[in-house]
Amino acid sequence: MSKSQLPVIPLEACHPAPYVREPLSVDAAVELATVFKALSDPVRLRLLSSIASRAGQEACVCDLSEGIDLTQPTISHHLKVLRSAGLLTSERRASWVYYRVVPQALQRVSDALLLESGETAAATA
Amino acid sequence: MSKSQLPVIPLEACHPAPYVREPLSVDAAVELATVFKALSDPVRLRLLSSIASRAGQEACVCDLSEGIDLTQPTISHHLKVLRSAGLLTSERRASWVYYRVVPQALQRVSDALLLESGETAAATA
């Protein structure tokens, strides 16, 4: 059998699965990644949780070093990152700065993950 | 009035807000931060969303570079990070590797955020 007679076996084709919905846009991915970056540090997660676990979801900066073996400037830096990502707000009252959770921001991120999991985002979105 | 007669004005005290529930433990924060780190990159979010948006929440690696201006090895690296964080599983079928979303992993992270937002985690947890 000459070369020209060899059967042509096509490479196994890739079978793309069709989209059933629109995936995240570039802009939405960049925005969401910023929030996840703020949440990607264990100390920041503990600070956020420490605030979220208190009455009124609010805590004084003077009360947030409990159980966290870091200097006050380092803790303040982490709180600033969470605030920049829109997860916390802060307010100065007399000598102290108080931090408060932004539940809507956490809800939005939670909904985005739920959407990717195939569940419908919560009706509260 | 002598110095000894000056009134003593105490420093304004910090008023710690009481905990209404237990905050995240150190171990839980470390584990959760690992997943958020995997999600903190826009390209990884788009890859995850591209897989999650398809029928069966599954996609062939050969079909994931569409619209993403990166080399195949870089895309494979990002997919590996998502898989290591437990957000994707992979399976080789003949010549191609297929990636599938792990909805339970996304649901767990979504629930953790919802808890911090002050909402009760979804009943599906």
Interface confidence (ipTM) of the complex? 0.85
Within 8 A by CB and 6+ apart from B58, the residues are A17, B51, B98, B99, B100, B101
Under the banding of pLDDT at 50, 70 and 90, the label for residue A12 is low
Is A116 in contact with B101 (CB distance < 8 Å)?
yes
Rounded to the nearest 5 degrees, what angle is found at the Cα of A108, between the Cα atoms of B41 and B29? 60
| Interchain pair A113, B103: CB under 8 A | no
**Residue B16's pLDDT is what?**
79
Judge: A46–B23 Cβ closer than 8 Å, yes or no. yes
Using a CB–CB cutoff of 8 Å, tell me whether B109 touches chain A.
yes
Query: Which residue from A46, A49, A60 is facing B16, i.e. has the nearest CB?
Result: A60
Residue-level pLDDT at B125? 37
* pLDDT value, residue A25: 94
pLDDT digits (tens, 9 = 90+) for A22-46: 999 999 999 999 999 999 999 999 9
Mutation choice for A interface testing from B110, B119, B120, B124 by most A CBs within 10 A: B110
Please give the residue that has the higher pLDDT: either B123 or A50: A50
- Report whether A42 contacts B124 (CB < 8 A): no
Query: What global pTM score does this model have?
Result: 0.85
* pLDDT band with cut points at 50, 70 and 90 for residue B17: confident
Distance of CA B88 to the CA centre of its chain: 13
Chain A contacts of B26, Cβ < 8 Å?
42, 46
**pLDDT of B122:** 44
pLDDT digits (tens, 9 = 90+) for B26-53: 999 999 999 999 999 999 999 999 999 9
Is residue B93 within 8 A of residue B61, CB to CB? The reply is no
Sheet architecture: strand order including A58-60: A58-60, A96-101, A88-93
pLDDT (tens digit per residue) in B55-112: 999 999 988 988 888 999 999 999 999 999 999 999 998 888 999 999 999 999 999 9
Q: What is the pLDDT of residue B66?
A: 81
Cα–Cα distance for residue pair B122/B106, rounded to 1 Å: 12
